Every structure is written in structure tokens, then in C-alpha cells.
Structure 1
């Protein structure tokens, strides 16, 4: 009986904590652009890739919830390939914490070829860009377990999508 009471009290404390955490951040507006640290790292990624003879383009950054829902519908309600499993509000793009990139071998040409070696150094340009991105603090979608999202780079600052939905932002966890 004592164990059951302790368990119930502990559960109530946890629920109260979660409720107050939610209330603390819940009235914050959604971001409307890339987070400044993500934008800075994105610019550094372009510059550092260029130094290795690799030209890249950022194909996507911040997305509104409406834009994310449209992308989510691809392959479900439209005749296209599924490119995401994240609905609006469930993507780090919606919080300004993610970018997508592609290689740009020539002006006006964009490719998503993971094997392409345009700088002819014997290493995939894609892998070189990912290595640079990781050194800048990005996580790579190619490392995701469920859905390999090779163009995707994100900085989550240790925040889950649930915490972001509740209104928590990188500023709350960055020293």
C-alpha cells in the first residue's frame, strides 16, 4: 500500500512539473526565420565547402507549418515520392533549426548525388560537406535511424520536438 501511495505521489509531482514547464513557455510565438546560430553555421558551411572546391546551395531553411504540411502531403495525397514523415510542427525546419543542401557543380545546376566527386580528390563531395557540417555542430539526416534524409542538417540544441512545441527555445538551454 505504501509503495502505491509513493508511486501516485511521484506521478503527481512529475505531472505537475510537466504542466508548469509547459505553462512557462506555452505563450511564445513560433519562430519565423532561421535561428541566428543556425544561419551563421549555414554560412560557414558554404564558405568551408567552397574552400575545398565544393559549391553547395541551401535549398531549404525555415519552413512554416503550412509549408511543412504541403511537403508532408507529397506521396500521400499527390503523385510524388514521400520526402518527409514530419507534419507541420514536427520538423526542426518549423523552428528555424534545420537546413537542406544540395551540390551545385555549375551555376544553375543542382544535384543530390551522394557519390559525386567534383573536386576530384577521391572523396565524395557529399561526405565532405557532411563532415564540415558535423564539425560546425549540425546533426545529419543521413544518420537518422527511421528515415534517411540525406540533404537534411539540423541543430537541435538538445531540444526535442515536444519541447519546441511547448515553446522552449535554444535560448533557454544555451549558456
Structure 2
């Protein structure tokens, strides 16, 4: 409204000046009378130039008027650049819109659940906080080898249970998590924070088949071998809580255990499977999305991970 008033004022000023001053009207009249002959000459010259440029593309003038053909290239280049700049600055696309378009076509259930308002993942949890939580867990459980948490075990000399704490082999990022699962998990994070007051962190998302094989050596940790776990497909994650600036992973903590129960209920409400209901192993921090029709093999894993990363790259480029 303010811009409209300013523009109206600017237009009204010269109009009122012309209406009130005979001398100004006379000067304007003389100026345009002198300008018309020159304008006519320029118009004729412009029409002649346009005609020559148009005819320069004909076969019989290809050699003699080649320099005029460059104007077509210049014009096309300016038009292309202008269109790119126009769409870049006028059409704002949020990074999550890329995933929104994908989910609308491939997973309408979660898209409708989110009402098109997709969520952005938080930054990865600080590694030092995770290591401190692991050390605290080791102190409480004497069965866990008290080895440095960033040590790479060879799988032969070390106890198999220690592989769960190989932090340098763990992927705590969101880029390899498939949109169908990632958005469900982010919704759970949001509900847990806003409704229940639990701040959550991602401990592990994608898991390589090599790491899965190492973990499967201890049946108390996992029963799934490579490509039998949804982690290899970007469709599973392990999470923990953050309290007073520290990561809490211990299931002995009543506050954390209550959080895991709420986490399981919330995850199931958005279509995820919660590891806390399993009978042979209770994995309270684990959820997974059992994608219909998924074949658990290397080809499917590579396809889904590539799909997830492509969505992320497209989003970053747009942003």
C-alpha cells in the first residue's frame, strides 16, 4: 500500500506541473517536435537493421553476413540467462520441497500425514557427547570391554559385543536415510520434543553391510546379517536422548526408559516398527520402516541409498 501511494505521488507531480505551467507545456511540446524527426530516422534505421539480421540466416548470405548472425546467438544467450535469473529469484523452492514432491508421488500416506510441511533434519550429534555416554554405559555394565570407544576391532581378538561401540565406523548423518523413513522419524522427533519434552539424537542411521556382519557375531546385539537389516537400506535408525546437554543411552535410567516407551508408541503411530516389541531382542532405541515390496538384497540397498542421496543433492543445489 505504501509503495502504491509513493508511485501515485511520483506520477501526479509532473502531471500537476504540466497543468499549472504554460511555459513547461510549451517546452515539452517543442522538445517532442524536435525529437520526432530523429525518432523517425532511428526507427527506419532499426527496421533496416532488423531486416538485415533476419536475412543474414538465409543460405545465400551465410558467408557475407556471418557477423550479423552472431546477434541471434547473443540474443538467445541473453534470453536464456534472463530466464534462469528470473526463475532463480522469483521461484523460491525450499530444500524440503524436493522430498515433498518425491513423497507425494511415491509415499502419499506420509505426505498427507505431514500435510506437505516436510521437516529438516537436525545437525549430527557431537561425537564427544556420544563417547561420554558410551563410557558411562561401560562403567555401569562390566560385561562390556573397557576399550577405547574409537578403536577399530579386528573381530578376532576383541569381544564381539564391543563392535557396537566402534564410533569411527558409525554413520550419524541423515543423508543416506530414505525420505519415506526420514520424514517419519523427524515427525517422531518433533512429537517427542513438543508433546513429551524429550530431545532426541540420532546415534546411527545407515549401516554398512560390513559393520552389520561384524555386529551379527553377537546375537545379543542383532540377529540380522548383511542386507537383512533395514539399516543397509536407509530405512532404520538407532536413537537416544539428550538431557542437560548430555546424551543418555542407558536403559537403566528410569527417565530414559520412560522416553523409550513413549518413543515406541509415537513411532508406531506414524507407521514405524519399534524394536522394543521384539521378543528375542529388545532394541528400545531402534525403529524401522518396512517398505512394502522391498527385496532385501544388495541391489535394493544400493538403489535406495542412491535415491536418498540424490534427493539430498537436489535439495542442496536448490537451496
Task: Decide: shared fold, TM above 0.5.
Answer: yes
TM-score (norm: length of structure 2): 0.36
Q: How does 1:126-165 map to 2 (within 5 A)?
A: 126-159=260-293, 163-165=295-297
Q: How does 1:62-73 map to 2 (within 5 A)?
A: 62-73=206-217
Counterpart secondary structure, 2:202: strand
Alignment match, 1:97: 235
Counterpart secondary structure, 1:153: strand
State the structure with bigger RCO (CA 8 A, min sep 6), 1 or 2.
1
Alpha carbons of 1:153 and 1:159: their partners in 2 closer, same or farther (altered >3 Å)?
Answer: farther
Q: Deviations for 1:25-83, whole angstroms, at most 9, x for unmatched residues? A: xxxxxxx821111111121111111112111112111111012122223x48xxxxx31
Tell whether the 8 Å contact from 1:115 to 1:126 is kept in structure 2 after alignment.
Answer: no
Residue 37 (structure 1) aligned with residue 180 (structure 2): yes
Q: How does 1:72-111 map to 2 (within 5 A)?
A: 72-73=216-217, 75=218, 82-111=220-249
Tell whether the 8 Å contact from 2:205 to 2:231 is kept in structure 1 after alignment.
Answer: yes
Shift of 1:126: 1.7
Rg comparison, structure with higher value: 2
TM-score (norm: length of structure 1): 0.62
Tell whether the 8 Å contact from 2:275 to 2:286 is kept in structure 1 after alignment.
Answer: yes
Cα distance in 1, alignment partners of residues 277 and 252 from structure 2 = 14
Tell whether the 8 Å contact from 2:215 to 2:221 is kept in structure 1 after alignment.
Answer: yes
Cα distance in 2, alignment partners of residues 143 and 106 from structure 1 = 29
Structure number having the greater helix percentage: 2
The gaps in structure 1 that reach 5 residues or longer are 1-31, 77-81
Counterpart secondary structure, 1:93: helix
The gaps in structure 2 that reach 5 residues or longer are 1-174, 305-319
Counterpart secondary structure, 2:246: coil
